[in-house]
Amino acid sequence: MKRVHYIDTLRGFTIISMIFYHLFYDLVYIFGRDIEFYTIEKVRPWQISIAVSFFIISGISSYLTKGDKLIKKGLIVSLLGLLISLVTYIFIRNELIIFGVLNGLGGSMIICGFLKERLNKINIFWMIVFILLFIIFYNIDAGYLNLFIYKIKVPEFLYRMNLFILGFPKETFRSSDYFPLIPWIFIYLFGYGLGKLLKEKDFFGYYGSKNILSLVGKNSLKIYLLHQLVIYGLLELIF
């Protein structure tokens, strides 16, 4: 297939949103600037919108990718996530990242690559199920399930084993960017189903046209890997 510029454009918009989010994060939490509107609690919806967009877009793209290529891409993205963990451990240990967004995306790619034939049976019913599962398991790392007005506590022994990759981190586990497979695999699978639905509706027959945002989206991985270095370096010079 040709590149779908509509998807690249959405990815580009999301990566720019993420850059501004991290710019304000660095200003407030690393350089100690007082910005009234920006605290983690206040901007939580902004943060979630960025993360959800990345996982949905990646899920859509994974439907258009062959299983073996998806597994290979997942391994590469996961290794880059480990590299980020190493860099933060060496240089900014206070902002240590363990199983961040790249590892969450990479792990989801690998799982989808192995299960691609079965996942091709996803329909609207299963897409709704995946959204509900994402909501129910969203706070699993905090020790409970969301059943809308009720909260169900998860057995503690799962967390004592420190299964942080799955979403059961030990009490002492800390990461400034954390995207375990549960619940994020569910929103990724929703994106996979959306990719299938769009393909059936021949959406990908309309590729769109190149633009600045689509160019950014096409290079989103490179930008993701470099943007914090650039932001941090500029703020270090200024302050």
Backbone dihedral angles phi then psi of residue 174, each to the nearest 5 degrees: -135, 135
The contacts of residue 25 (CB under 8 Å, 6+ apart) are 38
Distances in whole angstroms, Cα of residue 239 to Cα of each of 25, 26, 27? 15, 12, 10
* pLDDT tens per residue, range 144-183: 999 878 899 999 999 999 999 999 999 999 999 999 999 9
Q: Is 156 helix (H, G, I), strand (E, B) or coil?
A: coil
Look at residue 1 and tell me whether its pLDDT is greater than 70. Answer: no
> In terms of Cα–Cα distance, which of 48, 53, 58, 46 is closest to 138?
48
Tokens of residue 104, six digits: 């969450």
0.85 surpassed by pTM:
yes
* pLDDT tens per residue, range 70-123: 999 999 999 999 999 999 999 888 889 999 999 999 999 999 999 999 999 999
Backbone dihedral angles phi then psi of residue 128, each to the nearest 5 degrees: -65, -40
- What string of DSSP letters covers 95-147? G--SS-HHHHHHHHHHHHHHTHHHHTT--HHHHHHHHHHHHHHTTGGGTEEEE
Distances in whole angstroms, Cα of residue 210 to Cα of each of 99, 207, 220, 236? 33, 9, 15, 35
User: How far is residue 97's CA from residue 4's CA, in Å, rounded to a whole number?
Assistant: 32
* pLDDT tens per residue, range 19-73: 999 999 999 998 989 999 999 889 999 999 999 999 999 999 999 999 999 999 9
